[in-house]
Structure 1
Amino acid sequence: MKQFIIIPFLFFISFSCFSQRERYNMDSLIVEAVKQKQNDYYELNRFFKRAKFQKEEIDFFLKESEKNKYPLGEVFAYNLLGRHYRNNSFFEQATEYYLKALEISREIKNVNAEIVTLNQVGVVYRRQDKIRSALNYHQMALELADKVEFPDDDTKVSISISNNSIGNIYLTLKQYQLALEKFKKSILIQEKLGDKRGLAINHQNIGFAFQNLGDIDAALEHYHKSLDYNIENNSDFGKVICHQSISDVLLLQRRYEEAYKYISEVVSISEEIGNQYYTSEVFSTLGYVQLKLDSIKIAEVNLEKGLAIATKHKIPSGINKSNLYLSELYEKKQSYEEAYSYYKKAIEGERKTFNDKNILYVNTLISKYDNEVSENKIKNLAKENEIAKLKLLRNRNVLIIALVSIALLGVLLYSMYRQRLLNNDKKILKLEQEALRIQMNPHFVFNALNSIKLYVINNEQKNAVHYLNKFSKLIRNILESSTVKEVTLSEELKTMNLYMSIENIRFSNEINYIEKVDSNVNSERIKIPPLILQPFLENSIWHGLSSKKGDKEVILTVKKESDEFIQIDITDNGIGRDAAMKIKNSKSLNRKSIGIYLTKERLRNFANEYKNDYSLVYTDLVDEKGKVKGTMVTLKLPIL
C-alpha cells in the first residue's frame, strides 16, 4: 500500500522539478534576449525559435524590457499578450495590448514591428466580424510592406500574411473569386520560401472558398493538403481547423459517420488548446453531426455548449450557427415554438452582422475601385514617361540653342529658346497636375467608399444613398474640371462643399464647415483655376483638425478686396502648424507632399495672364494669452 502512495508522489515531485527547470530555462532565455537588445523584430522572434510562452513568462519579459529600457522587447511582449488573449477569445484585451505594441513600434520607428502588429490587430477585428477595421489595418500593413525597397524573406512573409488576411475578409463578404486571387498571391510567396505553416493556412482558406463556390471535391482536396502540412508541422491548432472544415464538407455530402469520426477526434484537443472561437465551432459541428445521426439528447448538450461559449466570448458567427442548428433540433423534436424562436434569433443575428444585398452592392463598388486603380496606374506610368521625354527634349534644346547662340544671333535665338522652354514647362506642369490627380483619386475614392460602406453594412440606407449621390457629383465635377483651364468661383465653391461633405464622414460629421461669400462678389463671373482650394482645405482637415479634440470648424470666406483682387480666407480652429509639424516628424514614414507646391505653380501660371500677381499668406492664430487657436490661409487672386 505504501508503494502505491510513494510512486505517484515521486512522479509529482519529478514533474514539478521538470516544470521549474523549464521555467528557469525560459527566464534565462528572456534575460539573455533583453541583455542583447536585438533591434530587428524578426531576429528577436527567431531568437526564441517559436517558443511557447506562458502568461507568467510574458509578464516577466515585459517587466525586464521596461526595466532595461528595451522598447522593442516591450513591443514583442505586448504582441505575445495580444496573441494570448486572442487565442482565448478575449478580444477586447487582445486589442488593447496590440494597440500598445503598435504605439511603441511607431515611436521607435521600427517598420518591421509595425507591419507585424498591424496584421495582428486586423486578425482580432476579423475574428469579431468588424470588417471595416480589419480591412483598414491589413491594408496599412500591406502598403507599409510594399514600400520596403529591398524586401527580405521576413517582409515577404508579412506581405503574404496581409494578402491572406484580406482574402479572408473577402470570404466574409462572399466575394470568393476575389478571395482566391488574394490567396494565390499569398501562396506563391509561401511556396518560394517553403513556409509550411503559411501553406497550411492558405490551403485551408482556398478550400473554404471552393466550398462556397459549390466545388466540393476541390474544397476537400485543399482541406486534406492543409491537414497534411499541419501534421508535418505537428500543429494541433491546425488539425482542429482542418478536421472542423472536413466535417462540414462531409455533412454536405451526407457522409455523417465519417463526419462524426473527424470532428470527435479533435474535441479534447480543441478544449486543451483553449481557443474559444474554434472550440465553439467544434461543439456546434459535433452537435449537428449527432443530430443527423439521431442522437438527439447528446446533440442538444453539445449545441448548447457551443452556443454558451460563443455567447460568452461575443462570437457572432458562432452564435448564429448554433441557433440555426438548435432550430433544426427542436423541429425534429416537434417543439415548433422553440424551433421558431431559435430560427428567428439566427436570422436576426445574420441580418445584424451581414446583409447579402448591401454587401454585394458595396463589393461591386470595391471591384470597380480595384479596376480603376489598375487603369490609373497604367495612365500614370504613361504620363510619367511623357514627362521624362519632355524633360529630355528640353535639356537637349538647351544644349542646341546654347551652341547655335554662339555662332548666330544670340539675342534672337535666346528669345526663341526662352519661348520654347516656357512652353515645355507649361506642358510639364499640366502633365504633373494630371499625374497628381490620378494618384490622388484612388486614395480618396478608396477612403470615401470605405466610409460609405459602413453605412451600407449598418443598413443606414438613407445615409448611404445621400452620400453616394454627393460622391458621384464630386467625381463628376472633378472629371469635368480636369478638362478646363478655369471654372467660375461658384462652381469651385460647390465642388469644395461636396469634397468637405465626403471627407467629413470619416470624422463622424464632427467638422462644422461654413462658407461666407460677400454680397458684392459676383461668383458666377469670377474665374479661378479648378480645384485650387482643395489642397488648403485638405491641410486644414488632416494637419489642423485630425489630431484635435473637441469642436472642429473650417470657415471659407470670400470678399472683394478691390476692383482688381478677390481675397479667399480658409480658417480652421486646429492645433496650429508647429504642433502639426511635430506630429508629422514623429511618424515612421513621412511622404513628401507636392500638392501645395503644384498649387503654387498653377497659381503662378494663372496670374501670368493677368495684370497683377497672386499672393499666399499663412497666419498662426492665437488668443489673448498667446495660446494657439488655429491657422488662417489668405489667398489673393487677380480678377482684372
Structure 2
Amino acid sequence: MYKTIIIIGLIALSHTISAQSNLQKNASYDLSRSLEQGESDIKIAEGYEKTAKEMLAKKDYTRAEDYFNRAKKLYEKLKNKDKIAEIDREIAKMYEAQNEVEKAISSYNDAGKVSRNQLQKSLNENDAQRLANSSNPRIQSDYIQQNLNLLENTANTKDRAAAYQQMADVNIQMNNKVEAIENLNYALKEVKEPVDVIKINQNIAKIYVDNKDYDKAIEINKKMVKEAQKSNDASLEIEQLQNLSSVYLDAEDKSKAISSLQQAYQIAIEQGHTIDAKHTTELMADYYTTNKESRKALSVYADFMNKLETLIKADSSLIDAQRFQATEDKISQLEKERALSEQLIRKKNITNYILIGSVILILVFLIVISRALYSIKKKNKRIALQSLRREMNPHFIFNSLNSVNQFIAQNNELEANKYLSSYSKLMRNIMENSNKDFIPLSLEIEQMKEYLDLEHLRFKDKFSYTIEIDSTLDTDAVTVPNMLIQPHLENAIWHGLRYRESDGLLKLKFENKNRYLEVTIEDNGIGLKKSREIKTEHQKKHQSRGQNNTLERIGLLNNLYNIHITIEVIDKAAPETGVIVVLRFPLTKK
C-alpha cells in the first residue's frame, strides 16, 4: 500500500520537473554535437561506443546494446576489423552480465572470427568455450587459466581482472571459498576505478557473509562506504550503506542496520536523489514492518511524501533523464538527416560517375575513331607513296627496252646481252625493295651505281660519272627513301648530258652535314633553260609529271614520318652550264 502511495506521488508531481540544471556534457551530448557538426564516420562510431559504455555502467542494457550495434555498423562500413572485434566482445560481456549465455557465446565467437590479433582471437575463443561448458566448473577453470596465461605480462588489466573474477565464481561453484577470495584479491590489484574496487570487495564480503564471518564482512563494507565517500558519488555511498545495513541484519545487529539505512536516506534527501531515497524508504519500511513497527513504517513513507516535491525539483538525475531522452530523440533525428544526406551524396556520386563514365567512353570512342582514321590515312598515304614509286618504274623499263632494241638494231648482240644482264640485276633489287619506304644508304648507292652503269652503256660517248661518299657516313646504318635519287640522275642524263656535243660529267656526292645527309647531283649538261627550249610538248609534259611525282613523294614522306626532306634545283649561271640538285635527308638509322 505504501509503495503504491509513493508511485502515485511520483506520477502526480512529475509535471513539476523543469529544466533547472544543464545537461551534463556526457557521451550522448558529445555524440549529438558530432552528428550536428557532420563529423567523420570514425568520430561518430567512437561517440556511439562511448555512449554504449555509459549506458552499460548504468546497467541500461537495452540502450547499451543499441548503441554498440550502431557503432559496429559504422566500423563495418569503415572495414575496421579490430574495432568490430572489440565491439563484439563488449556485447558478449553485456549478454553474460544478463545471463544470456547463448547470445554471449555467439558474440564471443563473432569477435574471435573477425579479430586479426591472435591474442584477442584466443581470448574470445576461450571465453566462448568457458560459457559453453558452464555446467562443468573444472573445464571452465581450464579455459579461464588459459586466458590468464595469455594475459600475463600484457597491459590488458581489464580482461585480467575479469578472468580472476570468473575464476573466483568457479571456485565458489566448487565450494573452494578460500581460493575464491584469493582470486578476487588478485582482481583487486588489476583495477583502479572506485566502482570496480567496490564491486570486487562486495563479492569478497558476500563470501564472508556466507561463511558467517560477519566481522570481516562488516569491516569490508565500512571500508567501501569510505571509498564511496572519496569518489564523491552519492548514489555509490548510499548503495554501500544499504549493503552495510544488510550485513548488520545478517549479523542480527538491528540498531546498526536501521542506523545505516537512516544515514543512506539522509544523504539521498540532501543530495536530491529521488530514486535512492525511494529505495531506502522501502528498505526502512520493510525493516519496521518485519519488526511489527507499522507506525514507524508509515512515518517513514509520510516523511518521504512530504519531501517528495522538493526532492524531485532538486533531483538533477531526473532532469538529466528527461534531457537524455530529448538528446536521444535529437540523435535519432540527426541520424535520419545524416542518412538522407549520405543517400543524396551517393545518388549524386552515381550520377557523376555515370557522367564521367559516359565522357570517358565518348573520349575513348573518339580516340579509337581518330586512331582508326589516322591509321586509314596513313595506309592511304603509304599506298599513294608506293603508287608514286611504282609509277617511275614503267618509264624506266620503257627506256631500258628501247636501249636493248637499239643494240639489237645495231647488231650489237654482246652489248645487248651485257645491258640485259645489268638491267635484270637492277630490276631484281628494285622489285625486292619496292614495298619499302626506306632502305640502307649502301643499297641505294649500289642501285644508283648499277643504274648509272646502264645509262653509261647507252650513252657511252656522252658522259662519265663519279660517286663521292663522306667517310664519316655509316652507309649500312643510315637509311634513305627508296629510289628518290634515281629520277634526278635520269633527268641529268636524259635532259642535260645527252645533248652535249662533247663528253659530260655527272657527279653524285653523299655528305654528312650536321644531322643531315646531303646528296648533291651535279651535271654540266645544257641546263634547264636550253633543255626546255628543245623539248617537244610531250617531253615537257612527261618531265613535269616526273618532277611532280618526286615532290609528292617528298611531301608524303615528310607527313608520314614527321621528318623534313628538302630539295633544291639550281640552274648554273653562265658561262657554266648544267644543273645542281641538292637533296637533304634527316640522318636516320635502321
Q: Which has the larger radius of gyration?
A: 2
TM-score normalised by length of structure 1 = 0.34
TM-score normalised by length of structure 2 = 0.37
